[in-house]
A and B are shown apart, each in its own frame.
Chain A
Amino acid sequence: MTGLINVNCDFNHQLSIKEFPYIVRWRDDRCKRCGQCLSVCPTGAIKPSVKSVRIVESQGQIPKPIVKTKVIHVIEQAKDMENYCTGCAMCQLVCPNDAIEPEFNPQHKFYTFKNKGGEPYKRGGRRNDPNPSTLDRIKFTRISMLTDPALDAGRHEFRVRTYLGRLLQPENLPLTTKNGLITIDREKEEFIPPVREIFPVMIGSMSVGALSPPMWEGLAMGVAYLNEVDGIPIVMCTGEGGVPPRLLRSRYLKYFVLQIASGYFGWDEIIHSLPHMVVDPAAIEIKYGQGAKPGDGGLLMAQKVIKLIAKIRGVPERVDLASPPTHQTKYSIEEAVAKMIQSMSMAFGFRVPVYPKISGTKTATAVLNNLARNPYAAALAIDGEDGGTGAAYNVSLDKMGHPIASNVRDCYLELVRQGRQNELPIIAGGGIGKKGNLASNTAALIMLGASAVQVGKYIMQATAECLGDEYNRCNLCNTGKCPRGIATQDPKLYRRLDSEKVAERLVEVIRACEMELKKIFAPMGRSTELPIGMSDALGIDDKDMAERLQINYVC
């Protein structure tokens, strides 16, 4: 009895393994104790330990059991929320013997406990909702059959292109006829807004800084290849944080949308580069909001602000870079936003489309109406609630924002009501490709009324095997410990990523997407022009959703 007195039976303030989102399954019989799993675990969720085990042995011809105590080396899972297993499975990836893997625990109470020190849970990634999104539930139900032949995605000419920039109303085109041919009437002095013809999938804003050098460089190389070799005019948004100076002065700048956000990071360098630019950028995106964290600002943590990033952004090294939740000059959309759009237009000689990006919101149509009246606003980008981020409060990611489908639909129908659907393009973002369906999600948004889509998270997943998912797997982007080397500035981590392979994957992904888009448009008999607003082609197996989106209910 005396031995039991020293046993601690009070575990009340300790967490059991069942509280954790992922449980590490380690197999003693397979493990050769090489320690590779321990070296790659980004959170220290596993640790080596020694155990004293009781074994019964018998030697010799006559059974003669002997009880022994043996010390063995094991892998143990940490049971504190600072070192929780994120389920990234890097351990499994490096294990030579398949001796270890994390297993999702649906009964976890992670969110209940992940607030130590009164600090709410912050992470990267996107909304942790593994259910199919509205976009994934939409089907394409208008199939051209017999009365109108389906087109051939492999044979017919397809133009999977869209316009980035404000388009003049046909009635306002400064055209006149001379000798039976139309010509531009210069005497009218009508402002002709700049417009780019682009691939309808844009690479969403991910900054230099948030992304590691090889990741950003890989994407940029892929974008250039797609444009120059494949002839697919894809554009990529820089995110807030500037652009490497060499790129600013190169002819490749035309493939990039420069983002300006509330911190104005990187714009000192951009403004100083203006006289040296040999081409104009594709567009300027003014970020007012982000779907992943509506109403919240950006933050690049100090550990990511290395020398290169500090130089590009024009800031000291190793300091937290906070972008305020809102532009400090923004006190009214009618004046301040209009001025900002106009100022940015003016800076680039009115040769570059300038558009704002907002997070999905019930008030999107109000923003839209203001922009519709602003002749310099080139588009409206709306980022839905499923948009991704490098860092945000979990509550913002999971509970704030507006689904993109109905937001885009409302805005498009509002433009139709005003007869301006051909004037102000809507760019949709947030959750596209969440289930891997990049092309069908894109097509659904286009037929709901979007002119183009912005994709970030899917691109990271598809080109650099980003581990994050909607079961809160990994999502460590905010910590600088990205195990794939995508969202980190730690050379030890980003060395794992090969920029050439990222570029190669981007080319593959976009080529495949273009073919899939053709495979969607062809059976519906569309090829020459993007089927924007072709809502008669869409169906969904939910009556309320069908009614809300004004598309067909099918079952």
Chain B
Amino acid sequence: MEAIYKTPDTIIDTPTHYCPGCGHGIIQRLIAEIIDEKDIRGKTIGIAPVGCAVLAYNYLDIDMCEAAHGRPPAVATGIKRVHPDKIIFSYQGDGDLAAIGLSEIIHTANRGENITVIFVNNAVYGMTNGQMAPTTLLNQKTLTTPQGRSEQCDGAPLRICELLSVVDGSRFIARTSVTSPKNIIKTKQLIAKGFNTQIQKKGFSLIEVLSPCPVYWRMSSVGSMKFIDDEMTKVFPLGVFKDWESQN
């Protein structure tokens, strides 16, 4: 009998350290499925960030490199320049990419580095117990915004897809979420498109994934999904912001 659903070969079958209701497990599984389907496990190199996903190499059975906080795009650049025919992706959170690593991501996009970035936006610093992220919504309560994020004091949430889509060197920029089977399927399609962008040597691709953090949002798992659909998508609209294919 043919198996129609199984653990991807690229996933290491082990319990993860992620909290209940976290989105990282879904997103990393999608990456593994894509690597299997494209049969690129032997030529893919991933970069794990500082943050909740630092242990991604415990779950993805591929060559991987850690990077200092915010620097995965620089490390990815260094690897890609040595191995231009390998598939290089960085997996980064919102603190890593949009706060301490904002310079690296903009300049890596601007150089048109032929890499793929999976940007997981859960609007909070999860690893350090829930402080404000650059993507935290206005009035959202975190450990460091106990009265809610104030635009006057903390600035407004930073929209990375919108920012990077005006950088000349970027080729494929999209935002998606993992709140429903439909959105998960869409997310897989968009990440696959990011990898295709790289395989076809079209240049820099980034897929932002809105992802739940029930523990540090102080919400239920179901409530977190609803929060993304009802609140986050108002500030971070889903869609494709830049696509080399439709531009041609």
Is chain B a partner of chain A in the same complex? no
Chain B residues with a Cβ under 8 A of chain A: none
Residues of A within 8 A of B (CB): none
